[in-house]
Structure 1
């Protein structure tokens, strides 16, 4: 998350809430190939599919934190444009970039969502001429700032993926090569905000339970509200656990594609967003997500080698591309034929 200065602007996260005991993995420790750090990373990606990436004590981390603060400032500016202005930039399926208004989708309990989102294509920000859209002026004048955030966030996740290569026993740069910065993909930056609540409704689901369909997601948030449902737990209110935001850290989670590539060794956990807890509900909740997705030409086929389990008798290698599989999966969920749920991993 951003630095302490940004945390001091809102009420503190309440004590005595069910909080997920996530590992805190040092980016500098990963860069130095510290054995304990690497082993803890692999364990976290199997057990929870989530961990805190500690960016402190690292020049690259300090730069990324500064970038993230700029993204929060951009989110605040977007949120003040007014509803009529924002509506003019509403996304048009099948392209889901640009603005998603509050109340436009249903949550787990059938009620309307309670979150605004503005999504920006990585390809467009990095200058792919085949990807361009009309945006508010505040976005147009922030393209360089967005580019730096993407480049620095991607570099941080590449460090994570490089260590997972080692833990999986596969060739160096295997995972990085499947989701590179310089190839066309569906990777994106998403700026999100939920309005302050005059009368906090602690049971309100702002964004329903889901898993991320890409490779990995890096998230910055200051107010609480992000929850994870531990594996094997019934999907009832009391089983969901909060992720407590911490200054100087980002939340990182494994996506569905990485689960498929590793034959289910890693875990993609069901998660959702609810109203920020306690007095935090009375301020606007903002978050910034960078969702890394595979290059367009990537196959969903399971990787071979190392400790990745081979196919069982009767199983066949996946022949669809990642994009084809994601489109199929999204359609099945939308039709109610497939239920979002935690995938892969192991209990430890």
Structure 2
């Protein structure tokens, strides 16, 4: 998560007796970097059972650097998404063809058939890393290109540690997963900067973004105010079963996404989640969040990974899915409730 200064701006998360909380495992980045077999197993168990985990970034130079860049990106949310509407609309995304750029609130329907209330600016990794000719972004982002590059480089270096341990647990050759989403190859990997307005005290809780799973490989999330909810495995999709994820200082929230589930034959879990207005008095302040959404490089397929003893082979009657990740994502958008602005 961003710095303690960002946390100090919000009231504390309310009691679990009032707002039910999901119990999310915590895994230490420093222990993973030190090669701990126990921590590696804990990572794998969380990816299989919950599909979510807190990654403790403390006691790691890489983790502390990511926290610092996360704080800078949080400040960039405020500088960018509080620009006047006329200016932001100059950078409007060309959905559904492209999601890069600005999305105003109210463009999407959510689970209760109302409109979403989140503004989003999606920053392309390809743009910042120079994999494509530079795109035009609002002035605060253009003035912060070095910090944005630092965020992408550092976030990917942390994700690479996680993917390396998943290689080990899945009995794949070292570097298999990271090689499918390199920084220097074109992909749909992006950083989403999200801002939802304060909610008046008299209003009931609202759904800001409806239930969905992420379509990429893995997501790294920073948020300070609550509001993110997960539906526990095996639970019916009814309101009383959803659980809040309480943000933890010094941690990033990690979740497995659908492409990695496909590659592993369903071994790793991509969990249904949604974004509500923050709980309790936190709702009286605007809610900011960052989502680093790691997608496979252009041309990669969703074909199941082979070469190890852990990932199950195709069963009788199953056909190999050789679609590339882009065409598969387009197909999913048509046949599911997949929300492209999050995933």
Contact between 1:64 and 1:152, CA under 8 Å: does it hold in 2? yes
**Structure 2 unaligned blocks of 5 or more:** none
Quote the residue 1:297 is aligned against. 299
Shift of residue 82 of structure 1? Answer: 1.8
What is the TM-score when the length of structure 2 is the normalising length?
Answer: 0.95
Deviates more, 1:67-76 or 1:135-144: 135-144
CA distance in 1, matches of 2:148, 2:240: 38
Q: 1:61 to 1:331 in 2, by over 3 A?
A: same
Q: Tell me if structure 1 keeps the 8 A contact 2:216–2:294.
A: yes
Once residues 109 and 234 of structure 1 are traced to their aligned partners in structure 2, the CA distance between those partners, rounded to angstroms, is 16
1:325 pairs with 2:332: no
Verify the 8 A CA contact 1:215 1:294 in the aligned structure 2: yes
**CA distance in 1 between partners of 2:185 and 2:53 (Å):** 27
Shift of 1:329: 0.8
Q: CA deviation at 1:79?
A: 2.5
Look up the match of 2:142.
140
- Structure 1 residues not aligned, in runs of 5+: 333-337, 342-348
Preserved CA contact (<8 Å) 2:131 2:184: no
User: What residue in structure 2 maps to residue 262 of structure 1?
Assistant: 264
Pick the aligned partner of 1:286 from 285, 288, 296: 288
2:197 aligned partner: 195
Greater mean deviation of Cα atoms: 92-101 or 218-227? 92-101
Task: Encode CA deviations 1:242-270: one digit per residue, 9 max, x unaligned.
Answer: 11101100000001000000000000001
Which residue number in structure 1 is paired with residue 30 of structure 2? 28
TM-score (norm 1): 0.94
Which residue in 1 is equivalent to 2:12? 12
Residue 249 of structure 1 is aligned with which of 239, 248, 251?
251
User: Structure 1, residues 21-60: CA drift from partner, whole Å, max 9, x if none?
Assistant: 1111111011011122111100000111000010011111
**CA contact 1:214–1:256 (8 Å) conserved in 2:** yes
- For this pair of structures, how many residues does the alignment match? 335
Which of 94, 99, 102 is the matching residue for 1:96?
99
Deviation at 1:299, TM superposition (A): 1.5
**Cα distance, 1:314 vs. partner?**
1.1
Cα RMSD (Å) of the superposition? 1.3
Q: Deviations over 1:191-233 (max 9, x none)?
A: 0010112226453000111111000000000000000011221
